[in-house]
Structure 1
Amino acid sequence: MFSEPSYLAARMVAETIEVHFAEHLSQAHELGEQDLATACSANIIEAVIDTAFWASLRREEGRSVSISMALLKPEQAGKPLVFGDRLRLTPHNLVKLAPAVEQPGIHLGVWHENDELYIWGTTHTVPGICFVLEVVEPGLLVIKHRRLAGFGKFVNIAVLHGDQIKVLDEKSMGIADCPALHASLMNMSLPSFMGEKFNVLVQLASSIRIHRRGGLVLIVPRASTGWQESIVHPIKYAVTPPYTVIADLMLQKEQERNKFEWKEALLQAIDIIGGFTAVDGATVITQHYDLLAFGAKVARSANSVPVEEIILTEPIAGAQATRIHPAQNGGTRHLAAAQFVHDQHDAVALVASQDGQFTVFAWSEKLKMVHAHRIDVLLL
């Protein structure tokens, strides 16, 4: 029998997650998709979350647990590593196994039988829409699933941080009652959340988060030089000619994109740009992902005024849009991003904070103000 869960957030969110996976698996089956996961009930989901949460609060040899678990049978995992004796899913066993599975892309395989949850081994591959739970840090859990296309970052479903529950609003992105904000979201370089399209900027955001120094990325039109009015000159680290590897790869035909070598080359190019965001200042790329400069200093345009108010949203169910001064949204990077977009309406800015926050800034033409949309819950 399952142990009685004692983490309240697990109980509160389990049914919502069950419904999410059931709906997505049903839609995938209707579309004829193959290699799909098996749906799990709310009580199983609750027990898995509960066990992972208590394991996250423990330490092994002075180190916090970092681990990923996938709910699937061994035969659904491609070429799994299967233990001779399966282990009960307990906080103790998760903590003991954690050092062996800390590398990205390795999941502990978990399944259930006769009201017992057990760990059967490890796997690198999981089927489409497979329940995956990642322990990011003590008390911080992310529930996600693999994209059907199998390439790119997993899709986040919910983020649990202690007693905080954030369920992502995949349909309205948290702004269902505001058409003006929907319109400004269309100008943002956001992930195609419902679809399976690989998004370069999602992967770039993940790359920025890895170096943990924060970063500011300015996305400008390829054929425009107007953005330079909001940059201090001379630009110390201009890239001449522009680094166009990502754009060149994205122009390749669909059959080339399905090759492993193409995917590896794209990820490598994204990581190169992500690395330059660690340099103090802004990294400037075009809407086609050409790298123009890094370490650039943002300044208010001579013909502009200081930005006094922005609107802030987050893709969370039940979230409300708020109007705030840009200084209330974060530090100097956030203020610089808001001012840049306030001056350059055809540009988009992305800010990664050292504390893990990630915000996209775009100009809302209908509201005549800067729209800041926090998307860190999509990226964990």
Structure 2
Amino acid sequence: MIRKSTYAAARAVASTIESHFAQQQSEARQRGELNIAPAPSVKVVEALIDAAFWASLRKEEGQSPRISLAFLPPELAGNPLLFSQKLPLTSHNLTKLAPGVERAGVHLGVWFEKGELYVWGTTREILSFCFVLDVSEPGLLVVKHRRSSGFGKFANVAVLKGDVIKIIDERSDSLPDCPEVLTSLLGFTSPSSWNASVNVLVQLAVSMRAHGKGGTLLVVPANSDRWRESVIHPMQYALSPAFSALTELMKQDKVDRSQSLWQGALRREIDGVAGLTAVDGATVINDQHEVLAFGAKILRSDGNELVEQIVVTEPVVGNEPIIIHPTHSGGTRHLSAAQFVHDQRDATALVASQDGRFTIFSWSPCEMMVHAHRVDTLLL
């Protein structure tokens, strides 16, 4: 029998997560997709979260565990590393295994037999919509799944921090009268939007957040130089010609994009561009992914007013928009990014904080003000 959970949040969220995976997989099958992972039951979700939570509070050799669990039978995993003896799914066993499996991309495989959950080994290759549970830090768990494309960041489903539960709102990319606000930004949870092309902005955001130094990325139209009115000149690190390595990679045939060599090259270029955002000032790229400058200092352009208020939302169930002064959304990075988007309304600003918060600023035509999207929960 699966052990009864003692982590209250696991019981509270299990049914919602089970429904999410059942719906996602049903829709994927209707689209004709193959190689879809089995969906977890409510009891399985609850047991996995419970074991992972208590493991996250333990330490092995003085270190807190950072692990990833994948609910999948070994025969459906790619090139699995199999234990000769299955290990019961307990917080003790997860903590002991953690030092050997903390590298990115390594999942501890979990399955059940005779009503008991067990850890069967590790794998780097899992099926589409496979239930994945990441232990990011003590008390912080992220439920996610692999996208149907098989490449890029996993789609987050829920974030649990102690007793706080945040369920990702899949409808947040279709706000009334503002379809472009989120759908044209990142399209986080929509498999179709991800499959249409590799979403470079998503991966840049992940890489910016990962370097932990904070930074600002301004995305401007390729067919206009009006953005230059909103930065101080001369720019110390302007690029001439524009750096176009990402652009050239994205021009390659879709067949080539499935190759590991292309994917590796894309990751390297994304990390390189994201690294520039750690330099004081903003990195500027256009919507064709050409890097135009970094270390750029933002200023209010002539004839524009100071931004006095912004609307802030977070794409989680139950979140309500609030209107605040931009200084209340963060520090000087957030204020300058809000001013830039206020003046350059066809631009987007991505801002990473050193504490892990991540905000995307865009102009909202329905609110007629800058819209700050808090997306930390999507990038964990």
TM range (shorter): over 0.9
* Structure 1 residues 67 and 189: alpha-carbon distance in aligned structure 2, compared to 1, 3 A threshold: closer
Task: Check conservation: 2:141, 2:161, Cα contact below 8 A.
Answer: yes
Q: What letter is aligned with 1:213? A: K
* Structure 1 residues 187 and 341: alpha-carbon distance in aligned structure 2, compared to 1, 3 A threshold: farther
> Any idea what the Cα deviations from partners look like across 1:245-264, whole Å, max 9, x if unmatched?
11112122222222222222
Q: For the residues of structure 1 that align with 2:190 and 2:160, how far apart are their CA atoms?
A: 19
Q: Secondary structure at the match of 1:179?
A: coil
Q: What letter is aligned with 2:10? A: A
Would you identify which runs of 4 or more consecutive aligned residues in structure 1 move more than 6 Å?
A: none
Task: Check conservation: 2:359, 2:373, Cα contact below 8 A.
Answer: yes
Q: What is aligned with 2:280? A: 280
Q: For the residues of structure 2 that align with 1:326 and 1:31, how far apart are their CA atoms?
A: 42
Q: What letter is aligned with 1:179? A: P
Q: How does 1:78-117 map to 2 (within 5 A)?
A: 78-117=78-117
Q: What letter is aligned with 1:264? A: G
Q: What is aligned with 1:188? A: 185
Q: For the residues of structure 2 that align with 1:166 and 1:193, how far apart are their CA atoms?
A: 18
Q: For the residues of structure 2 that align with 1:155 and 1:166, how far apart are their CA atoms?
A: 14
What is the CA distance between 1:148 and its match in structure 2?
Answer: 1.1
Q: What is aligned with 1:164? A: 164
Q: For the residues of structure 2 that align with 1:247 and 1:136, how far apart are their CA atoms?
A: 32
Q: What is aligned with 2:347? A: 347
Q: How does 1:1-380 map to 2 (within 5 A)?
A: 1-173=1-173, 179-186=176-183, 188-191=185-188, 193-195=190-192, 196-197=194-195, 198-380=198-380
Q: Secondary structure at the match of 2:4?
A: coil
**Two-structure CA RMSD over aligned residues (Å):** 1.4
Q: For the residues of structure 2 that align with 1:367 and 1:341, how far apart are their CA atoms?
A: 14
Q: For the residues of structure 2 that align with 1:336 and 1:322, how far apart are their CA atoms?
A: 19
* Structure 1 residues 188 and 123: alpha-carbon distance in aligned structure 2, compared to 1, 3 A threshold: closer
Q: For the residues of structure 2 that align with 1:222 and 1:182, how far apart are their CA atoms?
A: 22
* Structure 1 residues 135 and 238: alpha-carbon distance in aligned structure 2, compared to 1, 3 A threshold: same
Task: Check conservation: 1:180, 1:367, Cα contact below 8 A.
Answer: no
Task: Check conservation: 1:55, 1:95, Cα contact below 8 A.
Answer: yes
What is the CA distance between 1:185 and its match in structure 2?
Answer: 3.2
Q: Secondary structure at the match of 1:262?
A: helix
Q: Secondary structure at the match of 1:133?
A: strand
* Structure 1 residues 202 and 346: alpha-carbon distance in aligned structure 2, compared to 1, 3 A threshold: same
Could you state the TM-score of these two structures normalised by the residue count of structure 1?
Answer: 0.96
Task: Check conservation: 2:158, 2:168, Cα contact below 8 A.
Answer: yes
Q: Secondary structure at the match of 1:64?
A: coil
Q: For the residues of structure 2 that align with 1:21 and 1:169, how far apart are their CA atoms?
A: 14
What is the CA distance between 1:189 and its match in structure 2?
Answer: 4.8
Q: For the residues of structure 2 that align with 1:191 and 1:98, how far apart are their CA atoms?
A: 29
Structure 1 residues without counterparts, runs of 5 or longer: none
Moved more, 129-138 or 58-67: 58-67
